[in-house]
Chains A and B, each alone.
Chain A
């Protein structure tokens, strides 16, 4: 993650459950963070995505056919 602010921000992967139609590409592209339930919907690790995995996360989000998957950046801590 090369964004401004560097390690003062954390990024998590979030799914819009209404938009998600269980295509499952996210689990193919980012299996370290996404598994599928028995109906094909993603179960996403809610922890911040580590910097070395950001590329996978981005690829998964970009591949979602319904644009349901997004990277959410939040500032770490109270600041």
Chain B
């Protein structure tokens, strides 16, 4: 396996410490940036690398860059680094900022050069600005454009692109409907390149080592390495850098193996999909591979559910979280997600009639595609997958039987 060429992004990572500029330059060397007329060549390299955005939507980075770079010369372009990922268990943004801020800052500098921007903004979660500002101060004189750091409110939908831009423009961290694409009109109405922090860190290395080097890891369809958070019942949960497309079973092994017998995995975060353990272990952790199977890598999240936990209960909990996280702007999301969460809750508590899950299924189908943003779609996808994977347990709850988790002998299960 090519995993011996890892880590890339997390090279030099030491828990609790930030890689200072001198150490960063020792590890990675200087960032070679094109002269003012060389930006097309940099974009071409990114295109050949096949790099896609790592925030969830997996949009090709070069395509976005081309769109922003194509703006009329008189229009001032802006790079927006999105470090506002709201997935509760995600540690990707915070790890990158705390451990290797200079890799992220190099990525911002490369993005600025690629689209010839004259302004850059890095949005981070509350508390993350100070460390990043320190790293920016270390680079005094290095960057043509010194990025501005903005702390944004905590929240699940804040990291959604339109919500983030809306926050910067108006102070309201709410998704918008029908706005122009950011490459056309983004922050302050300017052509804006929005990329998440992991994407920018990859960009920093592609600018140094080129597309062929990037493709030495991963698969043809899912090139490069990827940062994945694995949570739940594994021996060493946390953030791992893997070759994109790695089977989930291999990531579980990297994380020390399962800590107790497993039942299912939620791949792609709260807006991801549930898959029963045996099939899940064979899933390739890459955007293209998962999309073929109707799944998503989301922002790079995997959760392992023990055999002794009730999948319906866990789904009800996540559905409630997503309902509470709705920005409450669109009716189908504002009313549909609580209806789904209430329905699941009633099933878990044994208060629902047999067949009640068909209502949950109906509502899930009802809300999909009817919001200004994709929040209801993600919730619907997660719930629909749970209804398939935990079908037996749903019936048991509805008919007053113990679910499989309750019947599972915990003592015998733990190795």
Binding site for B on A (CB under 8 A): 16-22, 37, 39-41, 43
Contacts and interface: CB of A to CB of B under 8 A. Distances in A.
Contact of B177 (A18, A21, A39, A41): A18
Contacts of A41: 331-332, 335, 370
Nearest to A46: B369
Contact of A37 (B176, B177, B332, B372): B332
Contacts, number: 37
B128 interface: no
B366 interface: yes
A19 B370 CA distance: 12
B346 to A, nearest CB: 16
A43 B329 CA distance: 16
A39 B330 contact: no
Nearest to B371: A17
B176 A18 contact: yes
Contacts of A19: 177
B331 A39 contact: yes
A20 B329 CA distance: 9
A14 to B, nearest CB: 9
A17 B372 contact: yes
21 contacts: A16-B372, A17-B177, A17-B330, A17-B331, A17-B332, A17-B370, A17-B371, A18-B329, A20-B330, A20-B331, A21-B331, A22-B331, A37-B331, A37-B332, A37-B366, A39-B331, A39-B332, A39-B335, A41-B332, A41-B335, A43-B370
Contacts of A21: 331
Nearest to B327: A18
Contacts of B372: 16-18
Interface string B354-379: 00000000000010001110000000
B309 to A, nearest CB: 32
B167 to A, nearest CB: 16
Interface residues of B, number: 14
Contacts of A39: 331-332, 335-336
Contacts of A40: 331
Interface string B313-336: 000000000000000011111011
Contacts of B332: 17, 37, 39, 41
Nearest to B335: A39
A79 B372 CA distance: 28
Interface in B324-353: 329-333, 335-336
A20 B332 CA distance: 10
A31 B19 CA distance: 62
Given A17-B371, A41-B332, 4 more contacts: A16-B372, A20-B331, A37-B336, A39-B336
B178 interface: yes
Given A37-B366, A41-B370, A43-B366, A18 B330 contact: yes
A20 B177 CA distance: 11
A16 B331 CA distance: 11
A46 B207 CA distance: 43
B400 to A, nearest CB: 27
A40 B330 CA distance: 12
Interface string B163-195: 000000000000011100000000000000000
Contacts of B177: 16-19
Which 3 pairs of residues, A with B, have the shortest CB-CB distance?
Answer: A17-B330, A41-B331, A39-B335
A70 to B, nearest CB: 9
